[in-house]
Each structure stands twice: as structure tokens, then as C-alpha cells.
Amino acid sequence: MKGLDLAVIGAGPAGLAAAIEGGKRGCRVAVMDMNLQPGGQLIKQIHKFFGAREHSAGSRGVDIARRLYRDAEGVGVEILTSCEVYSIQPGNRLEVILTSFGDSNRGHSQSSTYMRRRHESISAKQVVIATGGAENALNFEGWTLPGVMGAGAAQTMANVWRVLPGERVLMVGAGNVGLIVAYQLLQAGAEVKAVVEAAPEIGGYGVHAAKVSRAGVPILTAHTVVRAFGESQVTGAQIARVDESWNPIPGSEQELDVDTICIATGLRPNTRIASLAGCKLMYSPVLGGWTPIHNKRLETSVPGIYVAGDAAGIEEASTALEEGRLAGIAAAVALGKGRREDREEIEAIAARLSSLRGGPFCAERAVAKQEILSRAEAICQKD
Amino acid sequence: MRIKDHPILGVLPEARWVKIRVDDREITAIEGEPVAAAVSAAGIRVHRYTAKRGEPRGVFCGIGQCTDCMMRVNGVPNVRTCITPVVEGMVVETQLEAEPKEFS
């Protein structure tokens, strides 16, 4: 597989959307993803999205992922799973490890040849980095014990693989991820003992909090997890109230009988491959931390490398889709494969992105994104 | 524990159930699911013990990012079980990390 027009790293909403736009414009596109299935984190979203119809409101993430996958294949995009890009060398040369798995029919099952890894160097004229986000960890006594896991990990286990990650759960964090996953673990049959939130207020939407509360789960604000009990795995948790400086208040500790502690303390952009490619980053607390600097067309400080979705600042699936479209079109235009109507299309996407960042919950994201653009302009002028 | 009936996802879809070995246990698993899911469904939570302190580790991120869930699979160490699929008859071992590094 040599000589791509467009290589997309990550087959989540941003990556698939970018690939579809490239494919539609006649680019030779491949999407690479290290997981077993494409779709990114959409495949574990089994709740209905809300918002506007143009952003698939009323659909479940897992269905949106299927649609994207089909559309991508329909325009000739190659989707490679179990495919890990570990480096981008100058000139947009991607260093890739492709893993293939034998099956039992071929007698591979018990041998080390079951798993074959192959290295390839793939050059691409344009690259879209759509590597998504990573969950933040939380350091407390016992946090490395089996049974302490990201809320996203628990959600993947339950909703994608249909395995209950634990029976009695403490959820740490009452943002949208914490609330939604707490509710989904209840749906999957777990008992959620409590949701603790260190901030004085619930961070997530009221509708999600209401569902969790109606199910009888206490949401304890100004509380945090202090320690996990257990020798080889979690056998309990201690929580405590926190003061205004986030410090646990002595004497306020409570013990919970749980076997699982889920951490939902925010996400950060997964910038590892962008950093390796030499993309300049800036720190943006609102967008989750270090974020690749990019211009309006989502091009980073490295020409021909774009970034889209959570990898370009933590937002949500609908913004990831729009950013992916934008990056895909921009990459195609840069290759001389743009369409006459692309200028209008880009404007329409930009307008939808501003409306997505317009609500009271997300106005600060609009400001943060603007700061990224200003930094990109400053870099351009310096160069 | 398998989620056999789910209010939104419905009943567990038809699948090819196979046997795999985890240390000295034989467990049933669904072909193609991640080894981590099969191991978790069997109630096994410790995937490895760290080299320096011998501390247990299990599934942490579930999407191939963190390497906490590595086990030895068919003799190959450091396999991220959350992104490695089950095939019939495979041999999975709890990884004890006092061993020299090997690369496959």
C-alpha cells in the first residue's frame, strides 16, 4: 500500500468523516486504526444523541458509526484495523505496524504465529490525525489495583463486548461521561453505589443526572475517592468530603462496598502521534490540555498534517464529525481535488461548528478554539 | 459476567463459543472478542504483575492505549489483551514481569 493521497489516523467520527470527504473527491484514502473495529468511541454510545437533526440527534452512536463506515466504503476508502501508526517521518512518511491474527482452522491457535506483525512505510500526500482523546487518570491510594478503570473502559466492556466490568461500582466524576456511564452500567445490571464529584456542582447535563438520581443512585458533590481497598483487586473504596481547596476533610470518610471504581475525571487530546510528527502544541485547559495548534482549515504547524475531533481539543462527537469533514475537504483541496462548491461547503461547516459551540455549556470552547487559531496565525507570520 | 439480556441492546447475539486456556483454567469465550473481555467475563481480573514491585494490574483503558492489560498470549509476552481477539484453543497466561524484555 504505497502512495496514498490521504492517510487518516483513527477511525472514529472525525477520521471517518475526513476519509469520506477525501474519498468523495477522488482521493486515494486509507484510514488506520489500532482497534479491532472501526467507529472509535461511537461504538459504545448506546444512548440517543440530542441536539439538531443535522447532527444525528435521536440516533445512537453505534448506528452513526455503522453509517459512517458504510459511507466510507462506498466512496472507496480503505479501512485498516489492528493497524498502528507509531511515527510520522518528514515528508509525511507513516511508519505503521499491521497485525493480523490467524484463525483456529489454520492451526495457529496455540502457536506464536497466531499473531503476525508486519511493518510498512506508507507515504501520504496529506495526513489527518484523528486520534481522539484519552481518559485522565486520578492518583489515589490503590488506584493501580485491578478493578480501578477508566469509565470509558467499563463502557466498552459493557456496551461493545457485553461483559459486566464489575458488579458494585463507584463512579468518580459527575460530568457527562460519569453520569452516562453510571446509567449504562445500571442498564447492564450492575449496582452503582454512588457517583462522587469533587466540584461543588454536577458538571454534566441535568437530564443525565436526573436519570441516575431517579434510579436511586446518590450523586455526592464535594466528595472524592480517597483510597481503594484490596490486595489483588478492588474490594472496597473510601470516599470523603472535600473542602474548597479540594482536600479531603478528616472525619468525613465513608466506606463503600464496591468491586469496581470507574474514573471519569475528564479527557485530554491524544496528541502522541501529533507530537512525534513535530506539530506544535499549546496548553488549553478548556480543551483538555495540550492541543495541536491548527488554523481554520485544521492544518497543524506541519504542512500537510491536519488534526480533527478530540485530538484537536476535547469536544463531542458532533463537533468531531464536522471537524473531520472540514479537514477532509481541506486536504482534498490542497491536492487540487476540490470541487467548485467546496468554498460554500466549508463555510456551511464553519457555521455549524459555531452553532455547536454556541450554547451556554460550550461558549468557552469557542473562545478556546479561537485562541488556537490566533496562535496558528502568529506562527505563520513568524515563519 | 456476560450481559445476556440488555434493555437497549437486547439478547446476546449468536456467536461462536470456543474454549481457551487461562493459566490452569479452561474458560469459554466468544471467537473474535478481545481476550480481555473473555478473561473479565470469567471473573479474572489480574492480568499481570509488574516487574519492579510485583503489583497486580488489570484492564484500565480498554482501548489499547495504556498497556495495563498485557498478558502472555501463546507464549508471546506483552500482548495488549483489549485489542487482541480470541481464537479457539489459545493459551493465555498471567504475565509475571521479572523476565527479560522480548520483542515479537
**Cα(A78)–Cα(A324) distance, rounded to whole angstroms?**
16
Long-range contacts of A335-338 (CB under 8 A, 24+ apart): A335/A5, A335/A6, A335/A27, A335/A125, A335/A126, A337/A5, A337/A25, A337/A26, A337/A27, A338/A25
List the single residue in B58, B79, B83 with the smallest CB-CB distance to A34: B83
B60 touches A at CB < 8 Å: yes
| Residue-level pLDDT at A127 | 98
Interface of B with A in 18-37 (CB under 8 A): 18, 31-34, 36-37
A46, A118, A149, best to mutate vs chain B, most B CBs in 10 Å = A149
Please indicate whether, in this complex, the C-beta atoms of A163 and B84 are within 8 angstroms of each other. Answer: no
Classify strands A281-284 and A289-292 as parallel, antiparallel or unpaired: antiparallel
The answer to whether residues A6 and A27 touch, using CB atoms and an 8 Å cutoff, is yes
Spans of chain A below 70 pLDDT = 1-2, 50-56, 103-109, 382-383
Q: Which residues of B touch A114 (CB under 8 A)?
A: 73-74, 87, 90
**Cα(B47)–Cα(B93) distance, rounded to whole angstroms?**
8
Q: Which residues of B touch A188 (CB under 8 A)?
A: 3, 6
Spans of chain B below 50 pLDDT = none
ipTM of the complex: 0.94
| Residue-level pLDDT at A8 | 98
| Residue-level pLDDT at B18 | 95
| Residue-level pLDDT at A212 | 98
| Residue-level pLDDT at A48 | 78
List the single residue in B3, B45, B75 with the smallest CB-CB distance to A158: B3
Q: Which residues of A touch B68 (CB under 8 A)?
A: 144
Q: Which residues of B touch A116 (CB under 8 A)?
A: none
| Residue-level pLDDT at A64 | 92
Tell me which DSSP letter residue A299 carries: B
**Cα(B25)–Cα(A112) distance, rounded to whole angstroms?**
20
pTM of the model: 0.94
| Residue-level pLDDT at A54 | 67
Q: State the DSSP string of A20-44.
A: HHHHHTT--EEEE-SSSSSSGGGGG
| Residue-level pLDDT at A349 | 97
List the single residue in A109, A147, A159 with the smallest CB-CB distance to B45: A147
**Cα(A41)–Cα(A49) distance, rounded to whole angstroms?**
13
Phi (first) and psi of residue B28, to 5 degrees: -95, 145
